[in-house]
Amino acid sequence: MKEFNYIIKRILQMIPVLLVVTVVIFAGMRLIPGSPAITMLGDHATPQAVEEMNEKLGLNEPLIVQYFLFLRQVLTFDFGNSITLNAPVWDLFKEKAVVTLTLTVMTGLFTLVISFLFGYIGGISRNKVVTKTVDTAALIFISIPEFWIGIQLMMIFGLKLGLFPVGGWGTTWGEHLHSMVLPAIAGGLGTSALMIRNIEEEILKIRRQDYVDFAYSKGLKKSVVRNRYILKNVMVSTITLFSMRIVYMFAGSVVIETVFALPGLGNLLMQAILSRDYSLVQGLVYIFAVIVLVMNLLTDISYSFINPRIKLE
Amino acid sequence: MEYILSVKNLKTDFVDGDQVVHAVDDVSFDIREGETFGLIGESGCGKSATCRSLIGLLKENGTVSGGKVIYKGQDITHLRFGEMQKIRGHEIGMIFQEPMTTLNPVVKIGVQLTESLPDTMNKGEKRKRAEELLRMVGISDAAQRLEAYPHELSGGMRQRAMIAIALAGEPKLLLADEPTTALDVTIQDQILKLLQRLKRDLNMSMILVTHDLGVAAQVCDHIAVMYAGRIVEKADVHTLFHKPRNPYTYSLMCSLPSMVKKGQRLEPIEGMPPNLKEMPAGCAFAPRCRYCEKICAEKTPELEEIGKGHYTRCHLWKKLEHVEGIVEREG
């Protein structure tokens, strides 16, 4: 019951946040120079043509009216049609979401495997050389921007070795997954490096805790102490970092999708911004905001499962 | 005489930066079967390091650099990990000072209790045994507590749970490292009585590390007083409290309200224990000692036997011969 109240409370708290989001997107879009009419009609369009197009798109209404029209769309979850693509925003979102979702899941999986593997090795090893090597490698990958890693991966594994496609998303699920390998690595290395450092530090800290000494003093096997005492406690802080980063991965798909020419939400949003497609940008950013808020809520709920000291209240 | 544990010339070093610190320096003592042996002294004098050295549970920068620990005739000083795990918990158990940090915060009490039970028991038997252990340490609603996480228990309850967990492997010797220090005075007494009862009922021997002379007087059979990593006086509890022959032991007693005679002033020990990195020449206690003479600053005293089973490390112990009748008052 407490849990239920907590969730309701959190959902109610989202409302003001989302209202602020609508104002920011709306104002932001109108502040960038250029207009959808000119983009659609080209630089040589006559002033009348532009005027007619503005009329048709409803852009001649006062801004405040336009804002409330947008707000009505938001409240009814009907985001209207894209100005430039002539299709409902919601349908465009659904179509592209598959790509971005697949990318996020694959990036997340890659990150989890890599970071726990190397973080664990670096943290548990008493060999200074091993720890230093893992540390240094992690520091390097934290510092390299992901688009650059993406380009390097494309050159080596795409062009030179021909193992993976350098762009696009294919048509079958086999091709989809195949084409996601390089983007997932490019998008996940930075986060992996961050998490490796975090896991390593946590293990070093937890290894010195009294409860680990107590566990050894009970005559437990090394594997039990490592799994039940060290790893389980490492999870508590690491999962916080991971969930923050997975939201970032989803929202930050723009860069990777652009580099690898993946037809996902990031790519769609990029096009929409370049063509000043007001309704599409507004709709997409709003949906992104909702998704981020929901993911944050899910994360907070998941904490209470991993860390029994946290109560949902 | 049958000894369950013999410690011979134990030395433990800690590496601190580029310096090596002798936290435990040439410490020897024997534990008889069924007795409670007290290691007492101020904090930082090497009591805990001694205790942890016995079962190889030193922090990462510490090593046993010399001497022997002999448990039931077996040298366990430098056992391999796998061999040591057979001793730990099942022969020699240990309880720690801070119940708050000694239990795994993300695992239920029940799991922490059952994990060191033998694999020959099935799930139901383990559960039953776990409940039994909790009841044994005075936790009444045992079945319910098995499902609790450490943070859901009070401080005293956690300490009881920790004791139950340490006893799950049925150790014959229990190392209790300041088991009551982190607790309220009323709870301290309960836990102390509990430990004494368990020791008797389960036929255990115990090493009690404490800085509290009152506690030591109450439960110990033999006591070793430590100062700056060395034993400075060692005797049975009666001799130690009635005929202290080391100025440090005597000073400790004079600073304790429950130890001095009515009407006598309490006398705190001036100064601080020496920094182990910069040990003074001669006797380590000399700078704080009220009996100090020239020889004390020049020559390090040896531990000498001055009566049957009574050892002291002092050049001038004869000066203390008049000291007698330190009154132990109950409570």
Q: Which residues pair with B209 in a beta bridge?
A: B39, B177
Query: B327 lies in a domain?
Result: no
The residues on B that touch A, with CB distances below 8 Å, are 52, 55, 57, 59-60, 81, 85-90, 93-94, 96, 98, 101-107, 111, 115-116, 149, 151, 162, 165-166, 168-169
Query: Looking at the structure, do residues B69 and B194 belong to the same domain, yes or no?
Result: yes
Q: Mark yes or no for CB contact B104/A219 under 8 Å.
A: no
Q: Mark yes or no for CB contact B116/A219 under 8 Å.
A: yes
Residue B324 is predicted with a pLDDT of 67
Q: pLDDT tens digits for A141-174?
A: 999 998 899 999 999 998 899 888 888 888 888 8
Low pLDDT (below 50) residues in chain A: none
The angle at the Cα of B13, spanning B300 to B75, to the nearest 5 degrees, equals: 100
Say if A78 is an interface residue toward chain B (CB within 8 Å): no
Q: Mark yes or no for CB contact B59/A208 under 8 Å.
A: yes
Q: Are A146 and A187 in contact (CB under 8 A)?
A: yes
Q: If phi over 0 gives left and psi between -120 and 50 gives alpha, with beta otherwise, what is residue B151?
A: alpha
Among B225, B254, B269, which residue terminates a domain? Answer: B225
Q: pLDDT tens digits for B9-34?
A: 999 999 988 889 999 999 999 999 99
The two structure tokens encoding residue B292: 């100090």
Query: Looking at the structure, do residues B197 and B123 belong to the same domain, yes or no?
Result: yes
Q: How far apart (Å, rounded) are the C-alpha atoms in residues A252 and A58?
A: 31
Percent over 70 (pLDDT), chain B: 96
Say if A308 is an interface residue toward chain B (CB within 8 Å): yes
CA B129 to chain centre: 28
Q: Mark yes or no for CB contact B96/A214 under 8 Å.
A: yes
Residue A163: φ, ψ to 5°: -80, -35
Q: Look up residue A278 and give its amino acid.
A: Y
Query: B328 lies in a domain?
Result: no
Average pLDDT over residues B111-120: 91
Q: How far apart (Å, rounded) are the C-alpha atoms in residues B11 and B27?
A: 7
CA A233 to chain centre: 26
DSSP letter assigned to residue B320: G
Residue A307 is predicted with a pLDDT of 82
Q: How far apart (Å, rounded) are the C-alpha atoms in residues A22 and A148?
A: 33
The whole model's pTM is what? 0.83
Closest CA to B310 of B223, B229, B251, B252: B223
User: Does the CA dihedral B107-B110-B116-B121 come out positive or negative?
Assistant: negative
Q: Mark yes or no for CB contact A216/B88 under 8 Å.
A: yes
Query: Looking at the structure, do residues B146 and B249 belong to the same domain, yes or no?
Result: no
Three-state SS for A51?
helix
* Facing B103 at nearest CB: one of A211, A216, A221: A211
Which chain B residue has its CA at the smallest distance from A309's CA? B151
The boundaries of every CATH 1.10.3720.10 domain in chain A are 91-262
Residue B88 is predicted with a pLDDT of 94
Smallest CA–CA distance, residue B127 to chain A, in Å, is 18
How many domains does one find in chain B? Answer: 2
Say if A232 is an interface residue toward chain B (CB within 8 Å): yes
Q: Mark yes or no for CB contact A220/B168 under 8 Å.
A: no
Identify the domain containing residue B31 by its residue range: 3-225
Q: pLDDT tens digits for B232-281?
A: 999 999 999 888 999 999 888 888 777 767 777 788 888 888 888 888 88
Residues 196-225 of A with CB under 8 A from B: 207-211, 213-222, 224
Which chain B residue has its CA at the smallest distance from A232's CA? B106
Residue A83 is predicted with a pLDDT of 80
The angle at the Cα of A40, spanning A38 to A45, to the nearest 5 degrees, equals: 50
Residue A250 is predicted with a pLDDT of 83
Which chain B residue has its CA at the smallest distance from A233's CA? B106
Residue B31 is predicted with a pLDDT of 95
For the beta sheet containing B62-71, the strands, ordered from the edge strand earlier in sequence to the opposite edge, are B19-32, B3-16, B62-71, B74-75
Query: Looking at the structure, do residues B211 and B287 belong to the same domain, yes or no?
Result: no
Query: Looking at the structure, do residues B28 and B173 belong to the same domain, yes or no?
Result: yes
Domain A91-262 CATH superfamily? MetI-like (1.10.3720.10)
Smallest CA–CA distance, residue A232 to chain B, in Å, is 7
Among B167, B196, B225, which residue terminates a domain? Answer: B225
